[in-house]
Structure 1
């Protein structure tokens, strides 16, 4: 595949074909550097050499009942990680202060677990309001697991801008990496976030045997 030709097409505003997209995904190892160089041309044309810095805070660590095989915080992991409940407001606000000092554009509160309890959502909503009051220009993102409708609305009302919830892998392969919730459970949470006006931030993990 001529990666530079694909880059030229992208720079001209032309869409690549499904076959070309599959070729990108199937690129052999010895073509990865030329592929990355071609992709960098497109990135530089649209974004220059700037990056957007996100600052992540683990507001709840461990204590998770799920069996996601890839995660050090899952119930089946033996990793020696810290375990603590939701951090108090002063700790979260102090972390947001650090995010601003290092010029982060987005501050993301990340919690382990299947999904937050209403009490946890209330506590985080209070913290998010404090962060937004102190730093109005700082975007706040949340990554808390599976959400209920009213929880998504509560987060948006508190000032959360985006919701991170990865799909992780394909629907077909999902049962191989997790047995305590489904691919559709994750899709439903993304749809709930979108429905209340949260910007969805969703991606995938690769290299898990798929």
Structure 2
């Protein structure tokens, strides 16, 4: 087993990554091997990212009210979770949340909104205004998670000072229809590529 860890560590430290067989072997490890895995991943993190930690804070800028039926999400139309439901916060509310996050030590701030996408231009402009104000007045790096943004919306937000866009592919293409039926996997792929 020690040779396995030496090989995995060397591959990861070289930057080439590990192969599929090793990844599957890691997934099937017993719990008592977790410490060995953490040792390897910590070495890789230090090698490529150093000792620094960047604190990022988020604001749930729009909660609930999602038409999508993603089975994993508390904000989906099929969820029974007792979450707050409210429309997009005002630009001033988003800014106040960012200012509070900065006071608590955040260096990055993310604006997160429920829903498949920002279909309303006024909402996108409100987010863009908030991004620019947060960057210029607070000096915080900003990112967003706003659903499936088309490239033109990403470009608009970048022009306002946005650093990055988050969008997750929660599962594989083949399993996606079991997780979500209200939009296609390819929409998520297109958002990641944008």
The two structures have a TM-score, normalised by structure 2, of 0.89
Residue in 2 aligned with 1:65?
67
Q: How does 1:27-66 map to 2 (within 5 A)?
A: 27-66=29-68
SS in 2 for 1:126: helix
Residue in 2 aligned with 1:127?
130
Residue in 1 aligned with 2:181?
179
Show structure 1 runs of 4+ deviating over 4 A: 12-15
Residue in 2 aligned with 1:106?
108
Alpha-carbon RMSD across the aligned residues, in angstroms, is 1.9
SS in 1 for 2:85: coil
Preserved contact between residue 96 and residue 107 of structure 1 (Cα < 8 Å): yes
Tell me how far 1:46 sits from its aligned partner.
3.6
Q: What is the distance in 2 between the residues matched to 1:63 and 1:15? A: 40
SS in 2 for 1:120: helix
Q: 1:87-114 CA distances to partner (integer Å, 9 max, x unpaired)?
A: 1111111111122222322110000011
Q: What is the distance in 2 between the residues matched to 1:35 and 1:149? A: 38
Preserved contact between residue 118 and residue 151 of structure 1 (Cα < 8 Å): no
Tell me how far 1:182 sits from its aligned partner.
1.7
Aligned length: 191
SS in 1 for 2:155: helix
Structure 2: where are the runs of 5+ without partners? none
Q: What is the distance in 2 between the residues matched to 1:13 and 1:123? A: 40
Deviates more, 1:96-105 or 1:140-149: 96-105
Q: What is the distance in 2 between the residues matched to 1:5 and 1:149? A: 40
Change (3 A) 1:150 1:3: same
Residue in 2 aligned with 1:118?
121
